[in-house]
Structure 1
Amino acid sequence: MWIQKEIILKPKERGFHLVTSEVLSQIKGISSIKVGLMSMFLKHTSASLTINENADPTVRQDFENYFNRVVPEDESYYIHTDEGSDDMPAHLKSSILGTNLTIPITNGLLNMGMWQGIYLCEHRNQGGNRTIVVTIFGE
């Protein structure tokens, strides 16, 4: 069985946001999959997806602090600056973290660790809605 749907995540402020529930609320059909995979592809170049800690929100703040230090704004060597000081760093952060995830499905549930959740990593100050193509395949 194959299922594919584009879902839209509501705009988020800059930072790392736990979106597992928001994603799952927009997808029907996972519960009928005994063994399968869910692929997620984010259709943007200034945000990213990752899986990490789902319990302690300080982890998400530490991610934001780390990436802001590793990829700072207003560097003199940036050429792509027409869309604001957060734009080029957002593209770099997106490339570092990536825009796709693959998660196993077992007995109708995402088969992630107890402390794992899906993050939308919003790297722009005003990112807007974010679109994800979700493809599920399995039996």
Structure 2
Amino acid sequence: MLDNQPRGTICIEDLEIGMSRYVQKQITDRDIQMFAEISTDFNPVHMDDGYARDTIFEGRIAHGMLTASLISAVIGEQLPGHGTVYLGQNLKFMAPVRPGDLVLAEVSVKEIDHSRRRVTLDCQCAVGDTVVLRGEALVLAPSRKFD
């Protein structure tokens, strides 16, 4: 099992193409319930075993945005980390995440625009060998020049 990586800030001056960080989390029934309460998304595919069995998923699944929130956790806590401002995110949901799944969310630096403090990040979530989410984020990275 992988451990979550240290939290904090990596300023744009210290970022390099290919640098990556990750977090992993087992998705629980409690996580799904709490996310439903926060988001007000009580779609029965997330909440009702009987209903979900009769869908294309053949069982309950976690909210896609719950999985995507793990990407946000990596960006806000590790890469670039504290002080980062989200500017945009695109996501493609490729497979469901089910209660009990261990999700590995990984973010890596794709492009750096030092003059504008913009960083493009490749984002991916996987359950085992299955990629469940893929995307790209654009962020405003913290800088030592603006401390």
Q: TM-score scaled to structure 2, two decimals?
A: 0.32
| Structure having greater relative contact order (Cα 8 Å, sep ≥ 6) | 1
| Higher fraction of strand | 1
